[in-house]
Amino acid sequence: MQKDIKSFRDLHIWHKGIELVKDISKETQNFPKQEIYGLTNQIRRAAISIPSNIAEGYIRQHRTGFRHFLSVALGSLAELETQIVI
């Protein structure tokens, strides 16, 4: 971990994840209302999982733990991409 980064909030990748969540939230507002508890919910949850896992991994302050949570975040990103294709 870099010395000038004191919190997960200092991570550029966390900020990009937050931007993604905002974009997904905005885009899914236009989805059909019958999807609110289906695909819309799944897409939003997958997007939220990305910066959440980055933050959780960073806060553990161990490189192996951080790598694990980054891997989980990548899994959520793949899940999100798949759901968008659907």
Phi, psi dihedrals of residue 30, rounded to the nearest 5°: -90, 0
Calpha distance 53→71 (Å, rounded): 9
Q: pLDDT confidence of 37, banded at 50, 70, 90?
A: confident
In Å, what is the CA distance from 2 to each residue of 7, 14, 60, 71, 79?
10, 15, 14, 19, 29
pTM score: 0.89
For 6-22, write each residue's pLDDT tens digit: 899 999 999 999 999 99
For the segment(s) 8-85, the CATH number from 1.20.1440.60, 3.40.50.720, 1.10.150.20, 1.25.40.80 is 1.20.1440.60
